[in-house]
Amino acid sequence: MGLYLGLISGTSLDAIDAALVDFDADPLQVVAATAAAYEPSLKRRLAALIDAPDLAALDDIGQMDVELGRAFARTANGLLQSAGVAAAEVTAIGSHGQTLRHRTDVEVPFTWQVGDPNTLAELTGITVIADFRRRDVAAGGQGAPLVPAFHDQVFRSAAEDRVIANVGGIANITVLVRDAPVIGFDTGPGNRLLDAWVSRHRGLDFDRGGAWAAGGHIDGPLLAHLLEEPYLSLPAPKSTGRELFNSAWLDRRLAGRTLSPADVQATLQEYTARTLSAAVRVHAPGAALYVCGGGAHNAGLLAALSKLLAPRPVTTTAALGLNPDYVEAVAFAWFAKRTLAGGSSSLASVTGARGARVLGGIYHR
């Protein structure tokens, strides 16, 4: 079998997602998959590095790089063990790592992912492909989102115009309109603000199913203020992250307002739905929407999207045969396969780079 293993930790820091994929099968087959939660102390220290960069010490960053490499290796080895697959049967691991910083809006643009691929290769005994984003940035691109290239390969249809919305910490869309180039970009916040707010007020990692938001009311003035965020009106290509949409950003916009926490949650959920649906309406009128990522489990968010985009269908990528929880992990397995074959896996129409590039460095077993 043409087995490849994909690993990714997203903006939400909720887990390390892993998928073991057989690309010789037609269609591709997800042999096994898992979402390995972070050890709480590691997650807290990682979040502190990301959310308070001015306080980050070089020693802390260096050690975190190795610790995450070890965590990714534990996840990969655990998945193989549970699937009864030997490391020697896996051609390569595609590891996105964890983004520490993504700044393509500064004078010297850069993107920075950690999760040492050397450690990962050493502890798994499998060739690792990693560092996928920086070559695209070096070529003048945003380095994000990358998954539209994969979406184009597995979700494009000759019978239907489609939009794939990946709703993780940040939301991004891939526009797959028939007989047209792929378009894709980050639309704004996905789960990040929702998760941060429910964590602050209820001590939960996320608002399961949007239940807490359902008990609140959307505040029109706050929503209008949030929609004034300049990023939303920037033309594509564009990308964003926790560097912009974070708790400090929200607190500045809440200053002077007296709202119940549940009302803020309801408004934030609507904010994600409004920003995502607005991008869909502009770039893909009439296209069906398929959601993947953690947001695919938020019934309240899906209902809001359905209302805003009616009468077009809104569902998840499960309807297309791929579990919405593991689309990104499968994508990075595919990126590893492309890199080893010497094929490009970036789309200039999405990132704005000077052209397609072979992404990722190879760390041999």
Kindly give the confidence (pLDDT) of every residue in the chain, 365 residues in length, as a single tens digit, with 9 standing for 90 and above: 689 999 999 888 989 999 999 999 999 999 999 999 999 999 999 999 999 999 999 999 999 999 999 999 999 999 999 999 999 999 999 999 999 999 999 999 999 999 999 999 999 999 999 999 999 999 999 999 999 999 999 999 999 999 999 999 999 999 999 999 999 999 999 999 999 999 999 999 999 999 999 999 999 999 999 999 999 999 999 999 999 999 999 999 999 999 999 999 999 999 999 999 999 999 999 999 999 999 999 999 999 999 999 999 999 999 999 999 999 999 999 999 999 999 999 999 999 999 999 999 999 99
Instruction: Provide DSSP, 116-132.
Output: -HHHHHHHH-S-EEE--
As a whole number of angstroms, the distance between CA 343 and CA 365 comes to 21
Q: Say yes or no: do domains 3-143+327-363 and 148-312 share a fold.
A: yes
Extents of the domains making up the chain: 3-143+327-363, 148-312
Kindly report the CATH number that applies to the domain delimited by 148-312. 3.30.420.40
- Say how far apart CA 29 and CA 321 lie, in whole Å: 10
58-83 and 40-51 helices cross at what angle (nearest 10)?
A: 140
The CA distance from 23 to 11, in Å, is 27
3-143+327-363 has which CATH code? Answer: 3.30.420.40
What is the full DSSP assignment across 169-189? Answer: SEEEEEEE-TTS--EEEEEEE
Strands 314-316 and 288-292: parallel
